[in-house]
Structure 1
Amino acid sequence: MCMVWRVHFPQSVPCEGGCVVAIGNFDGVHEGHRHLLALARAEAQWRHLPLVVLTFEPHPRSILRPDVPLKRLTTLEEKTQRLAFAEVDGVAVVDFSLDVAGWSPARFMDDVLVGWLCAKGVCVGENFRFGHKAAGDVTTLKARTEFTTLAVPLLTDEAGVVSSSRLRSL
């Protein structure tokens, strides 16, 4: 059974035992996402920990660039259903706002990954960026000692990188 948590920060949620966290928007839960989730699931199974997807709602781009229309591939409900089908144990939904967008990478890692989720492993796409003005990246995550970081190479096919942006453009 897949649990879904909707989080309004600051909110104190005691972490219990740790987990492996796959971070991203996962709009569409397409083949590239499923590839990342399979690797994250393998890491979680190896560690005997649950796999939790950390995602954001509304889509960060709709907050950061409200002037640019965003064609969503899935609603939050559709996304969580697809993630459950992908065998994740939980989905943590961060209510994205301008306040959250202003967090430093350190605050995001301290408050969310370590403090709230007790992450022991973090799995992201190799191009993942986070924190205020996208200041954090895979190198930032790998510098932390509380968890290990797996940077997954982007999945490609004959048309290029499999991405939500590409699917939106079709």
Structure 2
Amino acid sequence: MKIRLGQHNAPDFPQGATVTIGNFDGVHLGHKHILQKLKNEADSRNLPVIVVIFEPQPKEFFSRKAGFTPPCRIAPLRTKLELLRDTGCIDAVWVLRFSQDFANMSAQDFIDKLLRQT
């Protein structure tokens, strides 16, 4: 499993990819089920699987910004990456820095500038 950090370090899959986006904090049975279904679909289309996660997690970012204590994590980033790797379903994880600029990005810009460029 490849790990890519930052917006300018997108996973390089010119043939396209199947992508899911989320916190994946703890990688529980529900996550594993979703990732296996995504892997099955990707395999049927001969495409890789990419998981996009944010660091810090959006709830952490907005809690700190509002002056609140951020919610506890189930797993730190390193453990999360290990848990994702251990599913055996993922070709790459793309970790994007969640900042105010990122939060201000429109959904369409996120799709056009990040996901479609990948």
TM-score in same-fold range (> 0.5): yes
Q: Distance in 1 between matches of 2:111 and 2:69?
A: 29
Match of 1:30 among 8, 14, 28: 28
Match of 1:141 in 2: none
Match of 2:96 among 90, 94, 97: 94
Match of 1:4 in 2: 3
Q: CA RMSD in A?
A: 1.5
TM-score, structure 2 as length reference? 0.88
Name the count of aligned residue pairs.
Answer: 113
1:64, 1:98 within 8 Å by CA — same for their partners in 2? no
Letter in 2 for 1:32: G
Structure 1 unmatched ranges of 5 or more: 118-170
1:52, 1:89 within 8 Å by CA — same for their partners in 2? yes
**Per the alignment, in what secondary structure is the counterpart of residue 75 of structure 2?**
coil
* CA apart distance, 1:60: 0.8
**Per the alignment, in what secondary structure is the counterpart of residue 65 of structure 1?**
helix
Match of 1:16 in 2: 14
**Per the alignment, in what secondary structure is the counterpart of residue 20 of structure 2?**
strand
Match of 1:83 in 2: 84
Moved over 3 A (4+): 12-15
Q: Distance in 2 between matches of 1:86 and 1:12?
A: 23
**Per the alignment, in what secondary structure is the counterpart of residue 116 of structure 2?**
helix
Deviation string, structure 1 residues 48-86 (Cα, Å, up to 9, x no partner): 011111111111111112114211001111111111111
